[in-house]
C-alpha cells in the first residue's frame, strides 16, 4: 500500500474544495453550478480513493475531515481494524484526562527497572538499561514521540489497565475504539490486537483540536509530542511538502516473512495546511496490504 498517492489526493481534495468554496461563495445563491462542481470533485475523489484502497490487496479504513469546514471523506471508515501503536493516542488522552481529574500528576515520578522492559526498538530499549525514575510527562513523550512500549505499558498500569482506556473512550463518545491488551501482553502472543475505526480516530483528533476533550495546556502538550514523532517518516510526513506541520501517531505490524511488507501500516494525525487553509485530520489504517 503506497501512502504517497492517498495523501496527495486528500490534500488536493481539501485545497480544491476550499478554493471552490472561497471563489464561489457569492455565486452559490444565484447558481447551482458551484455546488454541482464541488459534488463532482467529492465523487471523483471518493472513487479514486476507493480504487487505491482496493489495489492494496488488503483491508483499508480511511477517514479525513477538514476541521474548519467539517467536510469529510470516509472509505470503509467504520470498520474496526488493528491499531498496533496507534492505540497509544487514546492511551495518552486517557492519561491526560486523569491528570485533569487529579488522579495523576505530570510531574509524578515513576520507577522503571530493566525487568519492566517491553520488546521494542534497540534505541528505545536503551532507555531502560538500568533502574530509572521518569515523570508521567516524560513517559507520555516517549510513548508518543518514540512509540516506546515500556513507557506505554507503565502508563497503561497507571490508568488502571487497558480496559480503562476503552471505558474512557466510551465516555467521550467513541464506540469503536477497543483497547484490551497492553504492548507487553500482545508481544507474547501477537494475537487479538487492539482495534479501532478510522472514523472514530479522526473524530478523536477533531475533538482534540477543537478543545472538546482536553484543556488547552494538555492539548498543546500532546500536539507537541505528536509533532516531534520520530516514527513513520516515510508515511504521512514523507509525502508532504518540506516544512509542513504534521502531528501524528503511527502503528506498524510485523513484516510478512516472504514479502517483507508490514502486515499493518497505520498513520493518524493532523496536517496544518498552507496559507491559512485550515487543518486536515486523517486516519489511514491498512491491514494485510501486499
Mean pLDDT of 209-213: 98
State the catalytic residues: 85
* Cα 76 from Cα 80, distance rounded (Å): 9
pLDDT of 4 over the 90 cut: no
Task: Give the confidence band of 26 by pLDDT, cuts at 50, 70, 90.
Answer: very low
* More confident site: 47 or 11: 47
- Identify which has the larger pLDDT, 14 or 70: 70
Amino acid 121: pLDDT: 86
CA nearest to 146, candidates 167, 118, 174: 118
Q: 30 exposed, middle or buried (CB, 10 Å; 0-12, 13-18, 19+)?
A: exposed
Residue 47 to residues 6, 54, 172, 279, Cα–Cα distance (Å): 12, 10, 32, 23
Q: pLDDT tens digits for 91-140?
A: 999 999 999 999 999 999 999 999 999 988 888 988 999 999 999 999 99
CA angle 16/233/94 to nearest 5° reads 90
The cell numbers describing 282, all together, are 486523517
Q: Are 86 and 196 in contact (CB under 8 A)?
A: yes
- Reported as a single tens digit per residue, the pLDDT across 37-66 is 445 556 666 666 666 656 556 788 999 999
pTM of the model: 0.86
Predicted local distance difference test score (pLDDT) of residue 34: 47
- At 168 the pLDDT is 99
pLDDT mean over 12-21: 53
Task: Give the model's pLDDT for residue 44.
Answer: 64
Four-CA torsion 111, 115, 116, 118, nearest 10 degrees: 150
> Which residues have C-beta within 8 Å of that of residue 88, sequence separation ≥ 6?
143, 144, 147, 152, 249
Confidence of residue 77 (pLDDT cuts 50, 70, 90): very high
With 0-12 / 13-18 / 19 or more C-beta atoms within 10 angstroms meaning exposed / middle / buried, residue 210 is: exposed
pLDDT at 136: 99
Q: What average pLDDT score do residues 6-11 get?
A: 56
Range in 12-21, 248-257, 280-289 with the lowest mean pLDDT: 12-21
Output 274 or 51, whichever has higher pLDDT: 274
First to last CA, the chain: 7
pLDDT 10s digits, 147-198: 999 999 999 999 999 999 999 999 999 999 999 999 999 999 989 999 999 9
Is 270 in contact with 209 (CB distance < 8 Å)? yes
Higher pLDDT, 65 or 32: 65
- Percentage of residues in the chain with pLDDT exceeding 70? 76
- For 222-272, what is each residue's pLDDT tens digit? 999 999 998 877 777 776 777 889 999 999 877 666 665 667 889 999 999
Give the pLDDT score at 108.
Answer: 99
Identify the pLDDT of residue 249. Answer: 96
Domains of the chain, each with CATH number or no CATH: 3-287 (3.40.710.10)
Whether residue 5 has pLDDT greater than 70? no
Amino acid at each position: 500500500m503506497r501512502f504517497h498517492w492517498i495523501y496527495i489526493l486528500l490534500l488536493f481534495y481539501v485545497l480544491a474544495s476550499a478554493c471552490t468554496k472561497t471563489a464561489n461563495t457569492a455565486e452559490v445563491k444565484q447558481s447551482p453550478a458551484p455546488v454541482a462542481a464541488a459534488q463532482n470533485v467529492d465523487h471523483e475523489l471518493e472513487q479514486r480513493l476507493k480504487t487505491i484502497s482496493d489495489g492494496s490487496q488488503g483491508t483499508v479504513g480511511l477517514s479525513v475531515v477538514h476541521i474548519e469546514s467539517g467536510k469529510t471523506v470516509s472509505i470503509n471508515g467504520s470498520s474496526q481494524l488493528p491499531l498496533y501503536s496507534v492505540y497509544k493516542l487514546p492511551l495518552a488522552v486517557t492519561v491526560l484526562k486523569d491528570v485533569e481529574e487529579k488522579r495523576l500528576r505530570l510531574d509524578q515520578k515513576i520507577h522503571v527497572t530493566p525487568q519492566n522492559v517491553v520488546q521494542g526498538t534497540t534505541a528505545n530499549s536503551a532507555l531502560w538499561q538500568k533502574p530509572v525514575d521518569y515523570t508521567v510527562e516524560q513517559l507520555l513523550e516517549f510513548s508518543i514521540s518514540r512509540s516506546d512500549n515500556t513507557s506505554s505499558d507503565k502508563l497503561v498500569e497507571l490508568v488502571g489497565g487497558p480496559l480503562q482506556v476503552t471505558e474512557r473512550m466510551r465516555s467521550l463518545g467513541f464506540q469503536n475504539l477497543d483497547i484490551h491488551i497492553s504492548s507487553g501482553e500482545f508481544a507474547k502472543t501477537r494475537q487479538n490486537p487492539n482495534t479501532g475505526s478510522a472514523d472514530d480516530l479522526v473524530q478523536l483528533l477533531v475533538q482534540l483540536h477543537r478543545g472538546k476533550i482536553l484543556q488547552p495546556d494538555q492539548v498543546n502538550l500532546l500536539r507537541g509530542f505528536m509533532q516531534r514523532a520520530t516514527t513513520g517518516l516515510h508515511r504521512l510526513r514523507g509525502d508532504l511538502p518540506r516544512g509542513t506541520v504534521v502531528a501524528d501517531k503511527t502503528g506498524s505490524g510485523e513484516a510478512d516473512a516472504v514479502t517483507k511488507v508490514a502486515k499493518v501500516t497505520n498513520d493518524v494525525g493532523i496536517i496544518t495546511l498552507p496559507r491559512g487553509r485550515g487543518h486536515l485530520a486523517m486516519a489511514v489504517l491498512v491491514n494485510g496490504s501486499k
